[in-house]
A and B are shown apart, each in its own frame.
Chain A
Amino acid sequence: MKTVCVVTAWLGAVIVLAPVHLARAARPDRGADVAAATVETFTQRNGGVFAEWPDPRAVIVITGELDGYIEPCGCTGKENQKGGLSRRQNFLRALTSAGWPVVAVDLGDQVRRFGRQSEVKFQSIADGLRTMGYSGVGLGPNDLRLPAEELVAAVAPVGDQPTPFLSANVGLLGLDANITPRFRVVDVGGLRIGITAVLGSRQAAEITNDAVEVQPAAAALESVAAELRKASCSHQILLSWADPEESKTLAAKFPQFDIVATAGGADEPPAALPVLANGRARIVELGHKGMFAVAIGLFADPQAPIRSQRVPLDARWGESPDMIRLLATYQRQLESLGLAGLGIVPIRHPSGRRFAGSAACADCHQGAYDVWAASGHAKALTTLEEQAPRRDGDPECLSCHVVGWAPQRYEPFEGGFASMATTPHLAHQGCENCHGPAAAHAAVERGDVRASTTERDRLRQELVLSLDTPEGKQKAVSNCLECHDLDNSPKFDFDEYWPQVEHSETKTAAAAR
């Protein structure tokens, strides 16, 4: 895609996208230079794409609900996960390399969380979407939780490039500040495509950001729809960050939109697009976490003018150097900001206790320590350091790879791991993440601190995690699930995984004999 002409219209813009005429490549079912075996593996695993498509006049690619997954999580191997900007760009490139003119749009919600890391991430993703040549990007409710100063900086036009962000009913610093256009018209493959976006009423009611002004979606669309009608578009896209029912209501009220992307769908988009009862609007769900893109082909064939394809963004698309660079820059920013710069301050552990580090446990529990030391848990931080770019400055990664963090909050406890320079004894996924902070217990057992027998026994007992009772097992499983969650360990099954790291005192004692 290449922007060759930009014409500003009333609160909108007309962009002419010149189709890229490259050497006709193979059908777009893989990224460049991806091994045939990889393509075959993931085609079998997640289904083939575009196998029966004739060449379209243009393809609308819709993404959305990235939810912060700038790259897929993947303790069990990133290649087993779907999503990420890198594969997304290679997928878009595969389409344009095949000579298919592409219009890329995104529903919104680039981030899911709040705080400095999400602000930096939102900026990085916005840069990535620009690099990929997106023509329209909506604003989701989680995006709109970020401070206005950050949002405005990220979505503002860069040089002569207009912002890809747009919304019919959301105004950053007020609707009349016109920081983002209300709609956009794109000419591509001889077709004229109108694009706008709205935020739904439930989502608007939850906005607490006083710098964000939201108009009711239907009211805002009245004027935008009128402008789009004047533009003689052959297709019109509504990016509706709303519950599916509201999106369908808007689609019925404004039948000029023949493609309506909605939020609030299931975790995976359906294989085929449902068509609204009026017979016109195709309702597009995108799934969650940016694992899929939905491609809508526009064809000259009057019998089948539109076809759709759910595209799993898996390893068949390969990695894009542009996005790897973007990811490296993002990681460098996190590293240079550091935990303090990211506004991350240690929280108090519920027990009020401090951490000793796994090596301290070995003094008395050598058998259990040996099992741990031979496990992947003992190399957890190394796996982050060895990645390119390295991820050990990323709190969202770090929280499950060191001792003394709250995994699902991405925050350290007081006395938890801070850095390899200051707390190297708390590196990796160690004993105390399951058993609890053991500094007081270790100090008493070593004799550094005097304690009564009762107190000593109480400290010991606090750290016991028994699988002999349903409550104990439930507690252990819950601990594991803090990190072995659906994203990082989708196949996790405690009964299957536990034998690989089992280190009960009786078992290790028996092994020693």
Chain B
Amino acid sequence: MTVRGPNAWLVAAFSAVVGAAIGGGQAALEAAFRPWRIGDFGPASFAATSTDAPVAEVPETRHEFGTIGSGAERDHEFVIRNAGRVPLVLTRGATSCSCTVSDFESSEGGDELARKEVPPGGSTRVRLKWRGKGAGGPFRQQATVFTNDPRRPEIVFVIEGAVVPTWKAVPDAISLPTIATGAGAEASVKLYTYGSQPPEVEELTVADTQTSQLFTLASDPLPDAEVTAETGATGGLGIRVRLAPGLPIGPVRQSIKVRLRVPEEISLEIPVQGTVSGALALAGGAWDSSRQALLLGTVSGRVGSRTEVFLTAKGPHASSVRPIVREVVPDSLAVEIGEGRSVGDKGMIRFPLSISIRPGSPPANHRCSDQGPAGRIVLETGHPETPDFSIPVCVVIGP
């Protein structure tokens, strides 16, 4: 099927000619070349009808469905009237991907080109249909109808609303981004439900039994004000997760299994995401976490270079960290360590590290390969469990 919309410049030119013909002169010409904007044309814009052009009148172009249950279908009819003296030709144009426009097929008064004609004084309807899909949240869908009314070459109909899911977790996963080894963590999630009764918890457990002994879960009903604030929600739970120290370094792999009655049974899983990392870490543009190396590139020994990174200390012994430089390879590396400063309220401390290749440095090859082993910066940290912190350095110092 091919549907062709009117060429806007032809429409504008046509409108200019019509405007001039009816005596509008310069004003009509300017109006004709003023860009068409959706929403420029309220019903008042079409009060003065004249000439032989059709006139499309649309009482409304936007409809708010309110809330729709997940999977439920709603539709709305928009009306287009022809207030002109010649037939109004409507052509179906673009629609949003998930929205259905009916009433343009041949069985519904349209022709094989999804086009239909409205006689003078007549009206037709455009039906937009939407099925609530996805995990919930606001939606907006639209459909365009092209017309042969030169002053309104296209009409955009919009339907809006919100899909109410069966349940919704906010946030959708429990994040424990970086947990220092030897430290615990806490986080919470809000679980909203949309049944006819507040949720009754039948099961609240962690899915992976290998580490379940480290997780403690608790839940409480959310305050009414929080439930009311969530569109369409009829109940809610606050679920708290406490992770005891003991997980190995690496990604946290766990999820919370919840079984509820609202009164229908709902079973769901909320992922718990995070990473257990070492107590000390580097952060900065030159730090490559995949290679676990500081990449300084190729540096002119005559000019030198300077790079800023941060050393971060986390976990129960962060406050005991007092880094000093114990060793550098090559000798031309210079490291200045700035003062530690607390970040956030969980005890993280950051130290700025300024790493330089001194001007006048001799050539060196530490490209981190067989041809040139990595250089290094070794820090004495003061941390009782990680007393030394070695930073591999990839650098080639040229002339």
Interfacial chain A residues near B341, Cβ < 8 Å: 174, 176
Please pick, from B138, B173, B175, the residue contacting A209 in the complex, using a CB distance under 8 A.
Answer: B175
Tell yes or no: A304 within 8 A of B by CB.
yes
B271 & A211 in contact (Cβ 8 Å cutoff): no
Interface centre among A210, A304, A307 (most CB of B within 10 A): A210
Given the interface pairs A147-B277, A150-B289, the reply to whether A270 lies near B140 with Cβ below 8 Å is: yes
Tell yes or no: A374 within 8 A of B by CB.
no
Contacts of A125-161 to chain B: CB distance below 8 A: 141, 145-153, 156-158
Q: Chain A 463-504, CB within 8 Å of chain B: the 1/0 string?
A: 000000000000000000000001000100000000000000
> Chain B interface: which of A46-54, A86-94, A360-368?
A46-54
A145 & B273 in contact (Cβ 8 Å cutoff): yes
Interfacial chain A residues near B317, Cβ < 8 Å: none
Interface residue SS majority, chain A: loop
Please pick, from A54, A115, A156, A307, the residue contacting B284 in the complex, using a CB distance under 8 A.
Answer: A156
Interface magnitude class on chain B: 35 or more
How distant is the Cα of A157 from the Cα of B4 in the complex, in angstroms? 48
How distant is the Cα of A512 from the Cα of B141 in the complex, in angstroms? 46
Interfacial chain A residues near B250, Cβ < 8 Å: 343
Shortest A125–chain B CB gap in Å is: 16
A149 & B287 in contact (Cβ 8 Å cutoff): yes
How distant is the Cα of A414 from the Cα of B264 in the complex, in angstroms? 31
Given the interface pairs A149-B283, A149-B289, the reply to whether A267 lies near B310 with Cβ below 8 Å is: no
B38 & A146 in contact (Cβ 8 Å cutoff): no
Contacts of B124-139 to chain A: CB distance below 8 A: 133-134, 137-139
How distant is the Cα of A43 from the Cα of B251 in the complex, in angstroms? 45
Interfacial chain B residues near A115, Cβ < 8 Å: 251, 273
Tell yes or no: B208 within 8 A of A by CB.
yes
Interfacial chain B residues near A268, Cβ < 8 Å: 96, 139-142
A347 & B253 in contact (Cβ 8 Å cutoff): yes
Tell yes or no: B112 within 8 A of A by CB.
no
Interfacial chain B residues near A270, Cβ < 8 Å: 140, 158
Tell yes or no: B334 within 8 A of A by CB.
no
A48 & B5 in contact (Cβ 8 Å cutoff): yes
B289 & A177 in contact (Cβ 8 Å cutoff): no
- Nearest residue, chain B, Cβ from A343: B251
Q: Chain B 272-316, CB within 8 Å of chain A: the 1/0 string?
A: 011101000111110111100000000000000000001010100
Shortest B196–chain A CB gap in Å is: 20
Please pick, from A47, A114, A211, A213, the residue contacting B175 in the complex, using a CB distance under 8 A.
Answer: A114
Interfacial chain B residues near A116, Cβ < 8 Å: 251
A345 & B253 in contact (Cβ 8 Å cutoff): yes
B177 & A146 in contact (Cβ 8 Å cutoff): yes
Tell yes or no: B343 within 8 A of A by CB.
yes
- Nearest residue, chain B, Cβ from A485: B134
B38 & A210 in contact (Cβ 8 Å cutoff): no
How distant is the Cα of A145 from the Cα of B94 in the complex, in angstroms? 38
A347 & B208 in contact (Cβ 8 Å cutoff): yes
Given the interface pairs A51-B8, A115-B273, A176-B341, the reply to whether A304 lies near B34 with Cβ below 8 Å is: yes
Tell yes or no: A208 within 8 A of B by CB.
yes
- Nearest residue, chain A, Cβ from B92: A44
Interfacial chain B residues near A337, Cβ < 8 Å: 290
Tell yes or no: B98 within 8 A of A by CB.
yes
A265 & B138 in contact (Cβ 8 Å cutoff): yes
Please pick, from A148, A156, A271, A307, the residue contacting B285 in the complex, using a CB distance under 8 A.
Answer: A156
A272 & B312 in contact (Cβ 8 Å cutoff): no
Given the interface pairs A211-B348, A409-B271, the reply to whether A147 lies near B177 with Cβ below 8 Å is: yes
Interfacial chain A residues near B283, Cβ < 8 Å: 148-149, 151-153, 172-173, 211
Which residues of A does B touch, CB under 8 Å?
Answer: 43-48, 51-54, 82, 113-116, 119-120, 141, 145-153, 156-158, 172-174, 176-177, 206, 208-213, 264-272, 303-304, 307, 333, 337, 341, 343, 345, 347-348, 409, 486, 490
Closest 4 CB pairs of A and B: A156-B285, A52-B35, A266-B140, A210-B346
Which residues of B does A touch, CB under 8 Å?
Answer: 2-5, 8-9, 12, 34-39, 93-94, 96-98, 133-134, 137-142, 144, 156, 158, 160, 170-171, 173, 175-178, 185, 187, 208, 250-251, 253, 271, 273-275, 277, 281-285, 287-290, 310, 312, 314, 341-348, 350, 352
Give 17 new A-B contacts, CB below 8 A, not counting A148-B312, A153-B283, A213-B344: A46-B94, A51-B8, A52-B8, A82-B97, A114-B273, A116-B251, A120-B290, A146-B177, A148-B178, A149-B282, A152-B284, A152-B285, A153-B287, A265-B138, A267-B140, A271-B156, A347-B253
Q: 9 A-B contacts, Cβ less than 8 Å apart?
A: A44-B3, A48-B5, A148-B312, A174-B350, A177-B352, A211-B177, A211-B344, A341-B290, A348-B208
